[in-house]
Chains A and B, each alone.
Chain A
Amino acid sequence: MPPLLLQVSGLQTHYVSFGGKRVVKAVDGISFTLEAGETLGIVGESGCGKTTTCLSIVGLLPAGARIAGGSIEFEGRDLTRLGARAMRHVRGAQIAMILQDPMASLNPLFSIYWQVSEPAYYHRSLRGGRLRTRVGELLRAVRIPSPAQRMREFPHQMSGGMRQRIVGAIALSGGPKLIIADEPTTNLDVTIQAQYLDLLKELQQETGVAVIFVTHNLGIVARMCEKLAVMYAGRIVEAGTVRELFNNAQHPYTRALLGSMPKLGSKEKLSAIPGQPPDLANPPGGCAFHPRCPAALPRCASDQPGETILSPSWRARCWLAERQARERDAVAIA
Chain B
Amino acid sequence: MLSPLLEVESLTKHFAVNTGSLLHRRIGWVKAVDGIDFAIAEGETLGVIGESGCGKTTTSKLILLQERPSAGRIRFEGQDIAEFVGPALMRYRREVQVVFQDPYSSLSPRMRVGEIIAEPLQIHTSQTRAEQSTRVSEVLELVGLRPDVANLFPHEFSGGQRQRIAIARALVTDTRLIVLDEPVSALDVSIRAQIMNQLEELQQQLGVSYLFIGHDLATVAHISHRIAVMYLGQIVELADSMELCHAPQHPYTKALFTAALPAHPDDKHERLQLVGEVPSALAPPSGCRFHSRCPHAMPRCAEEAPVRKEVAPGHTVACHLY
Residue numbers of A with Cβ under 8 A of B are 45-46, 159-162, 189-195, 198, 216-220, 222-223, 242-243, 246, 256-257, 259-267, 269-274, 276-277
Q: In the complex, A149 Cα to B46 Cα: how many Å?
A: 45
Q: What are 17 inter-chain pairs, A to B, with CB distance below 8 A? A: A45-B189, A189-B278, A190-B216, A191-B274, A194-B258, A198-B273, A218-B263, A223-B261, A260-B192, A261-B189, A262-B193, A262-B219, A263-B263, A265-B221, A267-B222, A270-B196, A276-B160
Contact B194 A191 (CB under 8 A): no
Given contacts A246-B265, A265-B245, contact A194 B273 (CB under 8 A): yes
Q: B259: CB under 8 A from chain A?
A: yes
Contacts of B261 in A (CB 8 A): 217, 219-220, 222-223
Taking a contact as CB atoms under 8 Å apart, the answer to whether A222 and B264 are in contact is yes
Contact string against A for B residues 32-62, beta-carbon threshold 8 Å, 1 for contact and 0 otherwise: 0000000000000000000110000000000
Given contacts A194-B259, A246-B264, contact A263 B193 (CB under 8 A): no
Indicate if the CB atoms of A190 and B218 lie closer than 8 Å: no
- Chain B, residue nearest A258 (CB): B263
Which of A190, A217, A243, A261 is within 8 Å of B256, CB to CB?
Answer: A190
Cα distance A320–B257 in the bound complex, in angstroms:
38
Pick from B161, B190, B219, B265: contact of A272, CB below 8 A: B190
Shortest Cβ distance from residue A301 to the other chain B in the assembled complex, whole angstroms: 20
* CB <8 Å contact, A159 and B189: no
With a cutoff of 8 Å between Cβ atoms, the chain A residues found around residue B191 in the complex are: 45, 272-273, 276
CB pair B221 A242 closer than 8 Å: no
B265 / chain A contacts, CB cutoff of 8 Å? 222-223, 242-243, 246
Which residues of B are found within 8 Å of A223, using beta-carbon distances? 261-262, 265
A161 to B277, CA, bound (A): 8
Q: A198–B255 Cα gap in the complex (Å)?
A: 14
Nearest A-chain residue to B219, judged by Cβ: A262
Near A by CB (< 8 A), chain B positions 245-268 give: 245-246, 255-267
In the complex, A274→B242 CA distance in Å?
A: 28
Residues of chain A within 8 A (CB-CB) of B160 are 276
A222 and B259 within 8 A (CB): no
Contact for B221 among A194, A257, A262, CB less than 8 A? A262
Q: Is B270's CB within 8 Å of the partner chain A?
A: no
Query: Assuming the A-B contacts A198-B273, A264-B245, A267-B222, are A45 and B263 also in contact, with contact meaning beta carbons closer than 8 angstroms in the complex?
Result: no
Query: Quick one: CB contact mask for B172-197 with A, threshold 8 Å, 1 for yes?
Result: 00000000000000001111111011
Distance (whole angstroms) from the CB of B198 to the closest CB of chain A: 9
Assess whether B264 is in contact with A260, with CB atoms less than 8 Å apart.
Answer: no
Which residues does chain A contribute within 8 Å of B267, judged by CB atoms?
Answer: 222
- Nearest opposing residue in chain B for A266, CB measure: B222
CB distance from A192 to the nearest CB of B (A): 6
Chain B residue nearest to A216 in the complex (CB): B189
Residue B215 at the chain A interface, CB threshold 8 Å: yes
Contact of A159 with B277 in the complex, beta carbons under 8 Å: yes
Chain A residue with Cβ nearest B52 = A189
- Closest CB of chain B to A284's CB: distance in Å? 16
Report A238 CB to chain B, min CB distance, Å: 15
- Residues of chain A within 8 A (CB-CB) of B260 are 190, 219, 264
- Distance in Å from the Cβ of B210 to the closest Cβ of chain A? 15
What residues of chain B lie closer than 8 Å to A277, measured between beta carbons?
A: 158, 188, 190
B217 in the interface (beta carbon within 8 A): yes
Given A190-B215, A194-B258, A272-B197, are A45 and B190 also a contact pair (CB < 8 Å)? yes
Give, as a whole number of angstroms, the nearest-CB distance from A273 to chain B.
4
**Chain B hits for A265, CB < 8 A:** 221, 242, 245-246
Collect the chain B residues with CB atoms within 8 Å of residue A262's CB. 193, 196, 218-219, 221-222
